[in-house]
Amino acid sequence: MNFHYLFFALIFTALSSAKASVSSGSSCDFSSVNAEDAIDKLIAKFPEYEIIGPEKYYPVFAGFETSGFNVSGFHKLHQYGPVMHYCRNGTRLVQVDFINTGVVLITTPWKHCSGYQGTFSLRSRLSRFTVQFHVGLSNEDGETKLSYHGSIIPVITENIQAEVDGAGRNVNVVAGVLAMMFPEVTKEMWNQQFYYPLSRVLHRVLS
C-alpha cells in the first residue's frame, strides 16, 4: 500500500466533510586512497533540491490530484563521524554516515475539486543515514573516485512534521494529529520520498 495516498485520503476526509568480510590483502590496500577528500567533494556537489515526478497534475482518487514532489535541503547534509574503510570480496568500500543540520522539506502540490489547492509537506529536523560507496582510483591522475551502487541504510529520523497548506486551519490540524498518532506511517512516507531522490542525486553527482 502506498502510505502517501492513504495519508492523503485520511486528511481529505476531513476536507470533504552490512555485514562485510574484512580483508587485509593487497586488493584491500587503502594507502593511496583519500576517501575523506572524496567525501568532502561529494558533499560540496549536493544540490539544494530535487524534483521527482511529473509537473502536471494527475488524479490520485476522485476529485483529488497531485503533481510531482520536491525535496529541498540536500545541501544541508553533512558527514557525521569518521569514514570507515573495509573490503568485501576484494572490493574496496567506504561507509559514511550523513546527518542533516537544517530542515529537510518534502513538498507535494495538490488540488481538490472543491476549489482548494495548496501543498502537502513533510519536514524533518533530524535525519541520519549510512551510505556505502565503492572506491577506485582515476587512471589519469590517481584521484580517489567513489561510485554508488544503491546502499542507503536509515539510522534515525526524528521530529517528522506534516502540514497541509491551502485547505484551511482544520485540515492542517488533522494532518498534524495524524502524523503524531501514526508515526510509523509518517516515517514510511518520509523514507519513500526522501531516499529515492537522494539515490538519484548520488548517482548523478558521481557519474
**pLDDT mean for each 10 residues of the chain (207 residues):** 54 45 56 92 95 92 92 94 92 94 91 92 92 86 88 90 89 87 90 94 94
Burial (CB count <10 Å: 0-12, 13-18, 19+), residue 163: middle
The 8-class DSSP code of residue 10 comes to H
- Positive/negative CA dihedral, 170, 57, 50, 155: positive
Give the pLDDT confidence score for residue 48 in this predicted structure: 94
**Exposure string over 64-82, b if 16+ CB within 10 A, otherwise e:** bbbbebbbbbbeebeeeee
Give the pLDDT confidence score for residue 3 in this predicted structure: 53
Give the pLDDT confidence score for residue 30 in this predicted structure: 87
Q: Please, which residues have CB within 8 angstroms of residue 22's CB and are 6 or more apart in sequence? A: 28, 86, 87
CATH of domain 3-14+32-206: 3.15.10
Burial (CB count <10 Å: 0-12, 13-18, 19+), residue 89: exposed
N-terminal to C-terminal alpha carbon distance within the chain: 33
Contact 119, 108 (CB under 8 A): yes
